[in-house]
Amino acid sequence: MSFFNLYKNIKFSHVKNQFLAVMCANLVCLAHGGAMGWLSPSLLVLQSDETPLVSGPINNETASWVGSTTYFGGVVGNFLFMALLNHFGRKRTFSVLALPNLAFWIIVTFAKRIEFLYFGRFLGGLTGGGTFVCVPLFVAEIADDHIRGILGSLLMIFVCIGVMISYIAGAYLTYSTAPFVIMGFPIAFLVSFLILPESPDDLMRQNRVADAEKSLRFYKNCKADNKEDTERFKKEWEKVQLIAQQKLDRGDKVHFNDFCTREARIGLLKGFSLISLSLFCGSPVLMNYAALIFKDSGSKLDPSVSSIIMIAIQLIATAISTSLIDNVGRRILLIVSSTGTTIGLSAMGAYTYLSFHNYDLDGFDWVPVTSISVSVFMAYIGLVPLVFVVLMEVLPVKIRASGTSYCLSLISLFMFIIVKFYPTLVAIIHLHSCMWIFAAVSLLGVFFGWFVLEETKGKNINVESVK
């Protein structure tokens, strides 16, 4: 079934403002993707004699700290922006979300000391941590059930676009010029998000009922003088009132016991498991160390060009996943994605093993970029983007915001660990062993999708289940 057949029964006029709002919200994902992609081409400069740092070229240990500090910032950003969301609401929080990212680009442009790079990367991580809390929550609150999957998947598309732009800018522009290309994205986000109203759910939480009605009319594009729209608005407004009443009945404050219910424990366990699979399959390593991996693989192809090819394929895969995720469903997509990722990483491990033992691989220079591209393509049609969709669907309504924050802080923490210690791990067990470990984790994703993950396609996630 094609993308267009899947959505042929949807009147775009009903959801166009939802698409507009999500596009504006995801500009911050574009900015964050640019910050993530900055590392790969920049390390080639920072470790060379052309480094702008007064201390000279950096070693692998320092490089690992430059790479990982952004994810430490992500842990802080998860909790910081969740607190801001709960205290100031969605729109006010979004208005400051991109500021640390903008500061990051200014710092890396002019930094001459490694300490400033650490600080800049930490600030970039603050935006990243906040992005993965704020954007999925905003999408979950405004999106219709039948397009929630595609709108949720746009987060990873925009991140991939940002990474690709950063890779290209880093490959073909100077170290100090490239940041100016990406710097426009956080500014565009700050400007564009001013036009959007807060979500109806959040306005009801603030007891701003009249504003909530206006917001709902905007996001559902319901005209007051249209009979069909009036009937549609009444049905949607009843849902908003039901959700608000449920929140009022149970109270806004989340207690420890709310995390101890069977539904909460199962949801958190599934979220934790999916997060672990999506990260320990090697996706953050490929994102941050792409150029170095291709350089160390023994391939004669240019590392920067190979990295750009890889991220372009990642972008295509993520775009494809937006139609598949609401078409074939979550479970099948995870199983197929994990299987393909396992095959690609196993092939990369085999090639680098043979290269390490000095086998003649003339004529096989295409294997590293092909195997990594297969791995990335398969991971990003399901295994990676599913996290940000399924996480909002498996957590109970009451703990969704705080539970999402805790789960996403794990993402930042795990990425910090992986990116920090990957160079050390490669030095100890070599590149081929790392690839095979990632392949083994990907294989676990097949069993998780087959035996554990339930299908959540089309599930109404804003209304509590009746017990």
d(CA 112, CA 108): 9
Q: What pLDDT shows up at residue 58? A: 92
Q: What pLDDT shows up at residue 35? A: 94
- CA-CA distances (angstroms) from residue 162 to 37, 203, 382? 7, 31, 19
- Along the 467 residues of the chain, how does pLDDT read in single tens digits? 444 454 555 666 678 888 888 999 999 999 999 999 999 899 989 999 999 999 999 988 899 999 999 999 998 998 899 889 878 878 889 889 999 999 999 999 999 999 999 999 999 999 999 998 889 888 888 888 778 777 877 888 899 899 999 999 998 999 999 999 889 999 999 888 888 888 888 888 888 888 888 888 888 888 777 777 778 888 888 888 887 777 666 666 777 888 888 888 998 999 889 999 999 998 888 878 888 888 877 667 788 888 888 889 888 988 888 778 777 888 899 999 999 999 999 999 999 999 899 888 888 888 888 999 899 899 988 888 888 778 878 888 778 877 877 887 888 888 889 989 998 899 899 999 999 999 999 999 999 999 988 877 666 555 555 44
d(CA 256, CA 252): 13
- CA-CA distances (angstroms) from residue 458 to 314, 328, 390? 26, 12, 11
d(CA 160, CA 143): 22
Q: What is the CA radius of gyration of the chain?
A: 22
Cβ neighbours of 152 (radius 10 Å)? 26
Q: What pLDDT shows up at residue 325? A: 76
Q: Which CATH architecture has domain 12-196+260-451?
A: Up-down Bundle (1.20)
Q: What pLDDT shows up at residue 15? A: 81
Cβ neighbours of 211 (radius 10 Å)? 16
Q: Which of 205, 209, 210, 200 is nearest to 239 (CA)?
A: 200
CB burial class (10 A; 0-12, 13-18, 19+) of residue 436?
middle
DSSP 357: T
Pair 109, 453: CB distance under 8 Å:
no
Residue written as token pair 């559902």: 220
CB burial class (10 A; 0-12, 13-18, 19+) of residue 13?
exposed
3-state helix, strand, coil in the chain (%, to 5): 80, 0, 20
Q: What pLDDT shows up at residue 31? A: 95
Tokens linked to 325: 């995720």
Q: What pLDDT shows up at residue 461? A: 58
Q: What pLDDT shows up at residue 2? A: 43
Q: What's the CA dihedral at 384, 317, 325, 101 to 10 degrees?
A: 50
d(CA 172, CA 178): 8
Instruction: Please name the amino acid found at residue 423.
Output: P
